[in-house]
Structure 1
């Protein structure tokens, strides 16, 4: 082998090591961003802020930062060193999470929260660009499903362990007098920020993977005009996929935002019980659903469906729609918990399948951009429309807080139905793009190597 060439072995131990670090990054991002939800009253009391000010910190400060940063990171991922982007992002959001605990007033906390939103926007685009270059086509769905577990692990762990962190922080303050000037909620933020700094140290051991097909002229970074031209040319596929992303974001974020309130109001369940039970259900059913996705898609593909990944996602959305319709009809807490378990399972199953479908037909030189647009759509519509829509329907349509279950039914089932229509009408467009990829029409004509094949790429001078 020429000494100016370097190999990348697909599906290797190194590939799985990088995947573990990416999944851990994704999980920590969810823990860091959701800790604030458990500390509403202590934060308000210490900083003397109103509900409106807190909602600004909780929602607008984070999502506005995400909106500003996601497209930028999407572009940077396609043209610069992805390892360094992730390393910088993890370090910054860990420091900003710790700085949330140092805040003494509204603006300090808002700025720190803004920093968390900016830096966390890098994770998904980096992963969607790197993972397809580390795994063969056969292993890619499974790798993406493991990465998608990060949302379930982070979301569930934030509920299960959030209370434990707060209790531990209170004990630390009692044991170490030097920390007595900090409130419990402030030390909690500092403690949650520390694992990210440890993760940054592990990321230093990772080398930037060579970009797929970078030995060819076509692998040069796309210009923004070329990215826009590709998106416009395939707008039937991307438009429908992003519409599904918006709808899935509504369901995915409405359920954790309002379903615990539904359980507390309608069934009188204690808040602590709701926290650990919903957290455990999220970890179990979300994890199983996410891991089951590639298996269902593979079964359909073996039966001759080239669009097996999107077809399996369609089936999951049908299940989600049916369960959302059933929400207000639960007569006991057990039935209500079974319904949320089913919804979380159905929301988790398509996660890796959608990512696989998107990356399978997108040129490697613009995967960061398309991934950032996807996650941006999920976050913006999910945070900006979903929970607010449930609140408005509860107050303006049903006229009472006890009707939150009916509001969840209306908002989530409507979103699931629109998402299903977007996916089912996208199957044909997905097959057409797959045929183009297999025939060598796209910008990257090289056939993707199978597991164990070494891809040789000239090293940079």
Structure 2
């Protein structure tokens, strides 16, 4: 068991029983890592107005911190990490990535200038690009095809848990900033928003140490019961995706358009509640954060049940059909968002949107693993997250800010901007996914 692989001193691959207790331990640990990643990524959304005020920024400049700085680094490093996941030790990739993004989150809190914060956010994005390729690939080898959707649904709880906890943690730090400064004198000179970044970044260093308990599993194929450790050249990998482009293009673009809603809504919803209704930042963090956490978790965990319901009725394209149906419902709900007359009714509509955009994601993630050969999964997930990042992290915050600032001309009308952008994106997503449905079975086989 102590033998070392000559390629980079990588530990010997472990033969671990699929669907066993250790496999579930790993998926819960990976879910915790995903949660921490989203806390570090999303906590900025609650801090928009304090940062804007202290650094004298516009909504568009803030949106570049929320989206472009993170997204640009994420999409550049995503394929690099994806290829490393396909050829190297996935546990080691995770440990390095978690350590780096935690350090960069702390640096966000130590930033004194706009460009310092911009570069620190880029560092968080670059390091977090490791998580999805490594996590998806590991889970697909730890679980059988039957159990994979459920395992994937647990892993995909991470974004909802993280997005919710980011708002809750931010609200708690804001409300207890004075006492935290007294407890930790070295942090007393930091502004509240800076303290928030530091407090959410430090726990990730402990997580990196815990991830050392993850063992690298033997690689397997979802297309057969046999072990599959076949290597593919980069040319062969790209040729595979080109051959199956009818499925992958519609699938990737459809889910990426839905990501505009997934990222755009929580990015600007706190600012909308505070600007339009005069809601208190700490209250928004706790109320909206709890909603995102609970409803998002319910949606992601429940998704596989609806997939099985569709499969039992003969819809073999259920992993694509279900996201398409959810996108249609999300689009209809987004139309109603700016017509809500109170914080409570706005949160109720936002909660339904959160539910229906969360329902398909675990199912969609499992479909990608099932339809893709093992040693191509890292690249497949990287391409998927590349597009999700471009649309969700890059386009969504900035296009909503642009509509608010340059078309509507009123920061208080950010709710109308949310409705317009998210509604159009959701219906376009449904159209793309409808086109991908008929090609899914070809890719699966």
Alignment CA distance shift 1:188-1:225 (3 Å) = same
Distance 1:17 1:65, change over 3 A: same
Q: How big is the shift at 1:345?
A: 0.3
Between the aligned partners of 1:260 and 1:184, the Cα distance in structure 2 is 17
CA deviations 1:292-334 (Å, max 9, x no partner) are: 1000001111222212222222221121111112223324443
Tell whether the 8 Å contact from 1:254 to 1:390 is kept in structure 2 after alignment. Answer: yes
Which residue of 330, 341, 354 maps to 2:351? 341
Deviation readout 1:405-440 (Å, 9 max, x if unpaired): 333222111111111111122111002222x2xxxx
Q: Which residue of 1 aligns with 2:156?
A: 148
CA contact (8 A) 1:100 1:113 kept: yes
Secondary structure of 2:144's aligned partner: coil
Q: Do the aligned residues in 1 keep the contact of 2:43 with 2:166 (CA within 8 Å)?
A: yes
Give the stretch that moved more between structures: 188-197 or 241-250: 188-197
Unaligned runs of 5+ in 2: 4-11
Note if contact 1:49-1:106 (Cα within 8 Å) is conserved in structure 2.
Answer: no
Aligned pair in 2 of structure 1 residues 386, 308: CA closer, same or farther (>3 Å)?
same
Query: How many residues are matched?
Result: 432
1:374 aligns with 2:374: no
Measured in 2, the distance between the counterparts of 1:323 and 1:124 equals 29
Q: How far off is 1:373 after superposition?
A: 1.1
Tell me the residue number matched to 2:215.
207
* 1:237 equivalent in alignment to 2:254: no
Contact 1:250 1:385 in 2 (8 A): yes
1:299 to 2:287 alignment: no
8 Å CA contact 1:251–1:416 kept in 2: the answer is: yes
Q: Identify if the C-alpha distance between structure 1 residues 267 and 217 changes in structure 2 by more than 3 Å, giving closer, same or farther.
A: closer
Is residue 170 of structure 1 aligned with residue 189 of structure 2? no
Deviations 1:22-79 (A, max 9, x none): 1111111111122333345655677x56447655544433222112111111111111
1:18/1:49 CA distance change after superposition, 3 Å: same
Deviation at 1:14, TM superposition (A): 0.6
Where structure 1 has 5 or more consecutive residues not aligned to the other structure, the ranges are 437-461
- CA RMSD, Structure 1 to Structure 2 (Å): 2.6
1:23 to 2:31 alignment: yes
Q: Which residue of 2 aligns with 1:113?
A: 121
Contact 2:13 2:217 in 1 (8 A): no
Partner of residue 402, structure 2: 392
Deviations 1:231-288 (CA, angstroms, capped at 9, x unpaired): 1000000000111122112111121123333334444444433332211211121111
Change (3 A) 1:227 1:394: same
Q: CA deviation at 1:104?
A: 4.3
| Aligned mate of 2:267, from 240, 257, 282 | 257
C-alpha change, 1:156 and 1:243, in structure 2 (3 Å) is: same
Q: Which protein is bigger by CA-based radius of gyration? A: 1
- Do 2:16 and 2:217's aligned partners in 1 also have CA atoms closer than 8 Å? yes
Cα shift at 1:101 = 3.1
Change (3 A) 1:53 1:308: closer
8 Å Cα contact 1:173/1:184 also seen in 2: no
Q: Distance in 2 between matches of 1:76 and 1:177?
A: 42
TM-score w.r.t. the length of structure 2 is 0.89
Q: Tell me which residue corresponds to 1:422.
A: 432
In structure 1, distance between residues paired with 2:76 and 2:259: 18
For 2:115 and 2:396, the matched residues in 1 are separated by 26
Whole-Å separation in 2 of the counterparts to 1:364 and 1:242: 18
Output the CA distance in 2 between the equivalents of 1:103 and 1:152.
27
